[in-house]
Structure 1
Amino acid sequence: MEKITVKVIILYMFFQQTNLQLLINVKNQGGDVMQEAIVANVSEDTVTLEFLRSDGVFVSQLVDFTNEVEAMKVIIPGEEELGQTGYQTLCFLTHAAQADFIAPDAMAKLRQKNPGTVRVAEEDKGWRQTTATAWAGRATRLLSPAAARHCAPAGDKVYLRTSDLSRWAPRPGVEQSYTAEVTPFPANALSETSDGFPEVGVCVAETNATKACICHLEVCVNWYPCGLKYCKGKPQGGLSYRCGIKTCRRCYRYHFYVKRRESCITYI
């Protein structure tokens, strides 16, 4: 990894954390401890979770509760051994399953009694696989202004599933524009040959650097507040009250089309 790339990512994290709400020490499944920054923006109804992986990959996940949009942004340093220089920024939009995160107003009230404690999630929610079918284009701004700002560094490398477009709540004057603003992948990108094999192969098996292929990316969020805990009150009252949070771990596997294998920094 180039030294300049490391500095860019660290500076990026620093400026992103100027309004952070919580810093959490989290242990991943490999036993490494990393620090997550969680920001709850009540006025925008968003939650952002960010961390820098031990391999230099920076992950920033935004959930827009009002517009039901989840935006996963990933900054990936190039591998010098593979002749990859600089870094690549990608962003994936999916319909937000709001039950996965607690609401921003509840998140903003969270405090740590012991900030130095290393956290481990209570529940592992496993893998969620997403196969993108289009470049999001201007639809990002229509779907969620917050996600559009979040994904701006990715440029045209913002991906989504066209099947998700119908799941987002329609808004007057906008609902007819979602599909028109995205750019679908080429017809052969996700189709199969007559013998059942994908017409466009995976980048990990492609040896021609100029050939199109399907790239993949894996991201694990090892700790996040995924629900509220309620305890029963004293027998006299009998009412339940909020007494804590439930924490979860979830991994994401994204598949997306690239026009040239050399554009897939993550094909290893």
Structure 2
Amino acid sequence: MDKLAFITFIIYLLAQPTNLQLLINVKNQGGDVIQENITANVSEDTITLEFLRLDGVHVSQLVDFTNEVEAMRIVIPGEEELGQTGHQTVCFLTHAAQADFIAPDAMAKLRQKNPGTVRVAEEDKGWRQTTATAWAGRAARLLSAAAARHCAAARDRVYLRAADLARWAPRPGMEQSSYSSAVTPFPPHALASDNVDGSPAIGACVAEADTTKECLCHIEVCVNWYPCGLKYCKGKPQGGLSYRCGIKTCHRCYRYHYYVRRRDACLSYT
């Protein structure tokens, strides 16, 4: 390779997006250690975090920063003692303008000094509760190509809430109403607060004995460790300028509620 070709090749390499994959050993709330896989994709402006829980549930969270979409994919294995076979994949789309994660370009610059270290988050962000109101349908592709691919295995079990539809800016060449026309709302009675205490008229799946009856399913997921911000330190007294000197890490749990037409479509009764 001549000198000009070599220089051209180096310039090409430097121009390529820098992606990163981290394998992090994390201690969960029960004291067990699980491994998280975090991938920053600079070219797509996305971050994906995934892990396998000890109960066999696989969790994969994608944040699309450009389109402000967060997609939480959960794969739930059937419980043999309950007569459940196979597994079920569900996915939840939520608005992510104030995403907890640091941006992909900042994430891609992270390096692990001690890969074997067991990590514990510095801050507990508590619970975030989401009550879905519709099946996403074609809206998933309209909102985010990356999220649509991420949720593809869930098929018709991709959920979102109408309140988020109004928060997503319309894409070029389409109107805001296009999102609403692309989703399939839950039946009007599904989340109606007909009870005196304001609770939904339909009961929770955990209390429904008839597997053919409709009910409200819920799933809980905790992400025990993720980079949620950048840390800045002050420079020497004579300089006084601050500089980036690390990351802040957080823990957050999610609780998702959604409607199912039959109780046996809800593999999570917790």
TM-score, L = length of structure 1:
0.91
Q: Which runs of 5+ in 1 are unaligned?
A: 1-18
Aligned structure 1 segments of 4 or more residues deviating by more than 4 angstroms: none
Equivalent residue number for residue 15 of structure 2: none
Equivalent residue number for residue 15 of structure 1: none
Alignment of 1:4-153 (within 5 A): 21-153=21-153
What SS does the corresponding residue of 2:166 show, helix, strand or coil?
helix
Matched letter for residue 95 of structure 1: H
What SS does the corresponding residue of 1:167 show, helix, strand or coil?
coil
Greater radius of gyration (CA) = 2
Superposed displacement of residue 100, structure 1:
0.5
Partners of 2:97 and 2:180 lie apart in 1 by 21
Matched letter for residue 178 of structure 1: Y
Query: 1:57-91, CA deviations, whole angstroms, 9 ceiling, x for partnerless residues?
Result: 00000000000000000000000000010000000
What SS does the corresponding residue of 1:204 show, helix, strand or coil?
helix
Aligned length: 250
Equivalent residue number for residue 9 of structure 1: none
Partners of 1:85 and 1:70 lie apart in 2 by 29
On the 8 A contact 2:40/2:105 being kept in 1, the answer is: yes
Query: 1:90-125, CA deviations, whole angstroms, 9 ceiling, x for partnerless residues?
Result: 000000143401000000111110000000000000
On the 8 A contact 2:76/2:89 being kept in 1, the answer is: yes
Superposed displacement of residue 170, structure 1:
2.0
On the 8 A contact 1:65/1:98 being kept in 2, the answer is: no
Matched letter for residue 108 of structure 1: A
Query: 1:165-213, CA deviations, whole angstroms, 9 ceiling, x for partnerless residues?
Result: 0111222322331000000000000002253442111101111110000
Superposed displacement of residue 235, structure 1:
1.3
Alignment of 1:177-256 (within 5 A): 177-193=178-194, 195-196=196-197, 197-256=199-258
On the 8 A contact 2:235/2:242 being kept in 1, the answer is: yes
On the 8 A contact 1:132/1:255 being kept in 2, the answer is: yes
On the 8 A contact 2:224/2:252 being kept in 1, the answer is: yes
Partners of 1:195 and 1:238 lie apart in 2 by 60
On the 8 A contact 2:205/2:216 being kept in 1, the answer is: yes
Identity across the alignment (%): 80
Partners of 1:180 and 1:105 lie apart in 2 by 34
Partners of 1:61 and 1:172 lie apart in 2 by 26
96-105 or 216-225, which deviates more: 96-105
What SS does the corresponding residue of 2:173 show, helix, strand or coil?
coil
Partners of 1:265 and 1:194 lie apart in 2 by 26
